[in-house]
Amino acid sequence: MLYKPQSTNLFLSIQAAEKALKSACYTLDSKKINLTDLKLISSSLHDKHMSQFAKQIQDLIGPNDHLTHPGNAHFPKIPHELVNQERAAEVRQLMLLRC
């Protein structure tokens, strides 16, 4: 099967977490953040719970650039092949618990 819905779900969950963290940062100090690492974004919030949440997600997905930039995936893999159903389900569950 070429299409793997879990890779799409994982990508969308990561994007949602990233956008939510960036929005919180922007709301607090009106500065644009050009980072994609969830742990680095959350560190600027100075909130222990948000940092822990971001760390949990980032630890599950590993470096998120390998999901968004095909050149960072190790040959012969492509980004959607790096995602397994269990990891996608864990991230989704974590996101649902926090929202």
CA distance 54 to 41: 8
CA distance 65 to 36: 8
Q: What is the pLDDT along the chain (99 residues), one digit of tens a residue?
A: 445 566 677 778 888 888 989 998 888 886 788 888 899 999 988 899 989 989 988 888 777 666 666 666 666 666 666 667 777 788 878 877 766
pLDDT given for residue 70 in this prediction: 61
CA distance 21 to 88: 20
Task: For 1-99, list the strands marked E by DSSP.
Answer: none
pLDDT given for residue 76 in this prediction: 62
pLDDT given for residue 1 in this prediction: 44
Would you give the distance in Å from CA 97 to the centre of its chain?
15
Closest CA to 44 of 77, 22, 72: 22
